């Protein structure tokens, strides 16, 4: 009996350790972001710096008022944010995100893409390259958090967001992706 209880406690603790913590990006300085989020000495299992950057990129685009995804801009955005933060370590991450301007080549207007078209493309990508599908979904997730007025990064909520988006695209197939992302509600969507 004692062994069963100990095993149960161990499993509960282990499950908790695998969960990445929510990060309130509105409270981060550049140096804290670089040291504790991107280059954490003890990263949570499953954390992915590329997906974190992609979330920030989507967040930044939404905060700028644009409604396009720049397919060729992730690397440039990441390097520019890194440079901005290294040059200004005490700057808030929110100000750094506002200062970085992405390469605007090859834009995809979210208002011109129907939800059903996006959903079909996403499902095909999931079958062939789940990692890339997650990376694109992470951009949309960051965009949606910014559109909702939120500022919490929680990589563990990606699945909940993805399920809500895909469900809404099934309900409203003719709605454009921008309007859908602006209207979507997901389990842990939070506002300031």
DSSP H helical ranges for the chain = 2-17, 30-32, 49-64, 74-87, 93-99, 115-128, 130-147, 158-171, 177-183
- The pLDDT of residue 39 is 75
* CA distance linking residue 138 with residue 51, whole number of Å: 6
* CA distance linking residue 74 with residue 97, whole number of Å: 13
Q: Which two tokens stand for residue 180?
A: 């859908």
Number of domain units in the chain? 1
Q: Is residue 48 part of a domain?
A: yes
Domain of residue 34, residue span: 21-183
Q: Is residue 16 part of a domain?
A: no
Q: Is residue 33 part of a domain?
A: yes
**Residuewise pLDDT in 10s, the chain (192 residues):** 443 333 223 233 333 333 457 889 999 999 999 888 887 666 655 568 889 999 999 999 999 999 999 888 888 999 999 999 999 999 999 999 999 998 888 899 999 999 999 999 999 999 999 999 999 999 999 999 999 999 999 999 999 999 999 999 999 999 999 999 998 887 654 433
Q: Which two tokens stand for residue 181?
A: 């992302």
Q: Is residue 190 part of a domain?
A: no
Q: Which of 192, 133, 128 is CA-nearest to residue 158?
A: 133
Q: Is residue 109 part of a domain?
A: yes
- The pLDDT of residue 10 is 28
Name 24's bridge partners: 152
Q: Which two tokens stand for residue 26?
A: 């509105």
């Amino acid at each position: 009996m004692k062994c069963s209880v100990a095993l149960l406690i161990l499993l509960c603790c282990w499950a908790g350790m695998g969960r990445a913590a929510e990060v309130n990006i509105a409270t981060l300085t550049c140096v804290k972001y670089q040291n504790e989020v991107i280059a954490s000495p003890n990263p949570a299992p499953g954390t992915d710096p590329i997906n974190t950057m992609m979330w920030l990129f989507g967040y930044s685009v939404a905060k700028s008022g644009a409604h396009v995804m720049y397919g060729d801009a992730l690397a440039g955005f990441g390097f520019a944010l890194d440079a901005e933060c290294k040059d200004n370590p005490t700057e808030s991450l929110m100000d750094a995100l506002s200062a970085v301007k992405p390469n605007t080549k090859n834009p995809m207007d979210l208002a011109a893409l129907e939800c059903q078209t996006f959903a079909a493309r996403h499902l095909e990508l999931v079958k062939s390259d789940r990692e890339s599908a997650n990376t694109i979904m992470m951009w949309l997730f960051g965009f949606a958090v910014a559109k909702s007025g939120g500022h919490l990064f929680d990589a563990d909520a990606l699945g909940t967001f993805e399920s809500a988006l895909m469900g809404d695209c099934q309900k409203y197939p003719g709605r454009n992706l921008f309007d859908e992302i602006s209207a979507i509600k997901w389990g842990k969507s939070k506002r300031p």
